Protein backbone atom coordinates (compact mmCIF):
# COMPACT_ATOMS: atom_id res chain seq x y z
CA UNK A 1 0.00 0.00 0.00
CA UNK A 2 1.36 3.42 -0.91
CA UNK A 3 1.06 6.53 1.21
CA UNK A 4 -1.63 7.63 -1.24
CA UNK A 5 -3.60 4.42 -0.51
CA UNK A 6 -3.13 4.90 3.23
CA UNK A 7 -4.52 8.43 2.98
CA UNK A 8 -7.39 7.24 0.82
CA UNK A 9 -8.33 4.60 3.40
CA UNK A 10 -8.17 7.20 6.17
CA UNK A 11 -10.30 9.67 4.21
CA UNK A 12 -12.94 7.02 3.48
CA UNK A 13 -13.10 5.98 7.14
CA UNK A 14 -13.37 9.61 8.22
CA UNK A 15 -16.25 10.23 5.82
CA UNK A 16 -18.03 7.08 7.04
CA UNK A 17 -17.98 8.34 10.63
CA UNK A 18 -21.19 10.34 11.16
CA UNK A 19 -20.74 12.88 13.93
CA UNK A 20 -23.00 15.63 15.20
CA UNK A 21 -22.12 19.28 15.56
CA UNK A 22 -20.21 19.07 18.85
CA UNK A 23 -17.37 16.66 18.07
CA UNK A 24 -15.30 15.29 20.96
CA UNK A 25 -13.26 12.22 21.80
CA UNK A 26 -16.38 10.84 23.47
CA UNK A 27 -18.67 11.40 20.46
CA UNK A 28 -16.05 9.80 18.21
CA UNK A 29 -15.85 6.79 20.57
CA UNK A 30 -19.62 6.37 20.51
CA UNK A 31 -19.80 6.69 16.72
CA UNK A 32 -17.13 4.02 16.23
CA UNK A 33 -18.96 1.74 18.66
CA UNK A 34 -22.19 2.16 16.70
CA UNK A 35 -20.53 1.71 13.32
CA UNK A 36 -18.49 -1.35 14.31
CA UNK A 37 -20.87 -2.94 16.82
CA UNK A 38 -18.22 -3.00 19.55
CA UNK A 39 -17.72 -1.50 22.99
CA UNK A 40 -14.70 0.73 23.59
CA UNK A 41 -13.43 1.84 26.97
CA UNK A 42 -10.59 4.29 27.53
CA UNK A 43 -8.40 3.94 30.61
CA UNK A 44 -5.16 5.26 32.01
CA UNK A 45 -2.37 2.67 31.98
CA UNK A 46 -2.11 1.20 35.47
CA UNK A 47 1.61 0.52 35.01
CA UNK A 48 4.48 2.82 34.19
CA UNK A 49 5.27 2.50 30.48
CA UNK A 50 7.80 5.00 29.18
CA UNK A 51 8.02 3.77 25.62
CA UNK A 52 4.35 3.05 24.85
CA UNK A 53 2.10 6.13 24.70
CA UNK A 54 -1.09 4.11 24.02
CA UNK A 55 -2.24 0.65 23.01
CA UNK A 56 -5.43 -1.36 22.63
CA UNK A 57 -6.34 -4.64 24.28
CA UNK A 58 -8.62 -6.63 21.98
CA UNK A 59 -11.04 -8.56 24.19
CA UNK A 60 -13.41 -9.66 21.44
CA UNK A 61 -16.31 -7.19 21.18
CA UNK A 62 -14.72 -5.13 23.97
CA UNK A 63 -11.73 -2.98 22.99
CA UNK A 64 -9.84 -1.32 25.84
CA UNK A 65 -7.71 1.67 24.84
CA UNK A 66 -4.98 2.43 27.38
CA UNK A 67 -3.08 5.71 27.38
CA UNK A 68 0.03 6.89 29.23
CA UNK A 69 -0.91 9.42 31.91
CA UNK A 70 2.39 11.30 31.81
CA UNK A 71 1.68 12.96 28.45
CA UNK A 72 0.17 16.36 27.75
CA UNK A 73 -3.58 16.47 27.20
CA UNK A 74 -3.24 17.02 23.45
CA UNK A 75 -0.66 14.23 23.13
CA UNK A 76 -2.99 11.87 25.01
CA UNK A 77 -5.86 12.93 22.76
CA UNK A 78 -3.83 12.21 19.64
CA UNK A 79 -2.73 8.80 20.89
CA UNK A 80 -6.29 7.84 21.81
CA UNK A 81 -7.52 9.00 18.40
CA UNK A 82 -4.73 6.97 16.79
CA UNK A 83 -5.97 3.85 18.61
CA UNK A 84 -9.58 4.70 17.69
CA UNK A 85 -8.40 4.99 14.08
CA UNK A 86 -7.04 1.45 14.15
CA UNK A 87 -10.45 0.29 15.39
CA UNK A 88 -12.33 2.29 12.79
CA UNK A 89 -10.07 0.87 10.07
CA UNK A 90 -10.57 -2.67 11.46
CA UNK A 91 -6.84 -3.15 11.98
CA UNK A 92 -7.27 -5.42 14.98
CA UNK A 93 -7.89 -8.28 12.56
CA UNK A 94 -4.40 -7.93 11.07
CA UNK A 95 -2.39 -6.30 13.87
CA UNK A 96 0.58 -7.97 15.46
CA UNK A 97 0.17 -8.58 19.19
CA UNK A 98 2.59 -7.44 21.88
CA UNK A 99 3.16 -8.57 25.47
CA UNK A 100 3.44 -6.30 28.47
CA UNK A 101 4.51 -8.23 31.59
CA UNK A 102 2.68 -7.74 34.87
CA UNK A 103 -0.31 -6.15 33.20
CA UNK A 104 -2.70 -9.00 32.41
CA UNK A 105 -4.56 -8.87 35.73
CA UNK A 106 -5.94 -5.43 34.84
CA UNK A 107 -7.85 -6.53 31.74
CA UNK A 108 -11.63 -7.01 32.06
CA UNK A 109 -11.31 -10.34 30.19
CA UNK A 110 -8.35 -12.17 28.72
CA UNK A 111 -7.41 -10.21 25.59
CA UNK A 112 -7.10 -11.99 22.27
CA UNK A 113 -4.20 -9.65 21.57
CA UNK A 114 -2.68 -6.39 22.65
CA UNK A 115 -2.04 -4.07 19.74
CA UNK A 116 0.85 -1.65 19.88
CA UNK A 117 3.07 0.19 17.46
CA UNK A 118 6.12 -1.63 16.14
CA UNK A 119 6.90 0.68 13.24
CA UNK A 120 6.07 4.14 12.02
CA UNK A 121 6.18 3.31 8.35
CA UNK A 122 3.90 0.33 7.82
CA UNK A 123 0.57 0.72 6.05
CA UNK A 124 -1.62 0.36 9.13
CA UNK A 125 0.34 2.94 11.11
CA UNK A 126 0.35 5.44 8.27
CA UNK A 127 -3.39 5.20 7.68
CA UNK A 128 -4.16 5.31 11.43
CA UNK A 129 -1.89 8.30 11.92
CA UNK A 130 -3.51 10.20 9.07
CA UNK A 131 -7.01 9.32 10.29
CA UNK A 132 -6.11 10.45 13.83
CA UNK A 133 -5.09 13.79 12.33
CA UNK A 134 -8.40 14.04 10.44
CA UNK A 135 -10.36 13.24 13.60
CA UNK A 136 -8.35 15.84 15.53
CA UNK A 137 -9.25 18.49 12.98
CA UNK A 138 -12.92 17.57 13.36
CA UNK A 139 -12.61 18.14 17.10
CA UNK A 140 -10.68 21.39 16.85
CA UNK A 141 -12.93 22.70 14.10
CA UNK A 142 -16.14 22.45 16.11
CA UNK A 143 -15.28 21.34 19.62
CA UNK A 144 -14.20 24.47 21.44
CA UNK A 145 -16.70 25.99 23.81
CA UNK A 146 -16.83 29.54 25.17
CA UNK A 147 -14.69 28.60 28.15
CA UNK A 148 -11.86 27.37 25.92
CA UNK A 149 -12.38 23.75 26.98
CA UNK A 150 -10.53 20.94 25.30
CA UNK A 151 -13.47 19.64 23.26
CA UNK A 152 -14.75 17.04 25.67
CA UNK A 153 -11.38 15.55 26.52
CA UNK A 154 -12.20 15.80 30.22
CA UNK A 155 -15.08 13.38 29.61
CA UNK A 156 -12.53 10.71 28.79
CA UNK A 157 -9.74 11.65 31.19
CA UNK A 158 -11.93 12.59 34.13
Extents of the domains making up the chain: 3-140
Query: Nearest CA to 86 among 74, 96, 73, 99?
Result: 96
Q: What is the pLDDT of residue 141?
A: 77
SS3 of residue 69 by DSSP:
coil
- Report how far residue 71's alpha carbon sits from residue 9's, in angstroms, rounded to the nearest whole number: 28
Q: Tell me how far apart the terminal alpha carbons of the chain are, to the nearest angstrom.
A: 38
- More confident site: 124 or 114: 124
Write the pLDDT tens digit of every residue in 83-117: 999 999 988 765 555 555 455 555 555 554 455 55
The highest-level CATH class for domain 3-140 is: mainly alpha
- Report how far residue 40's alpha carbon sits from residue 43's, in angstroms, rounded to the nearest whole number: 10
Quick one: DSSP state of residue 95?
A: P
Note the pTM of the prediction, 2 decimals. Answer: 0.76
Using only C-alpha atoms, the chain has a radius of gyration, in whole angstroms, of: 15
Amino acid sequence: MSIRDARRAANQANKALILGGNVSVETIRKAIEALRGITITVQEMPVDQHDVPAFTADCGNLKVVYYAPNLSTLHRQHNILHEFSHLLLNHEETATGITIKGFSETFPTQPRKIMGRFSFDDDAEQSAEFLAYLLSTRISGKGRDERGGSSGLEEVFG
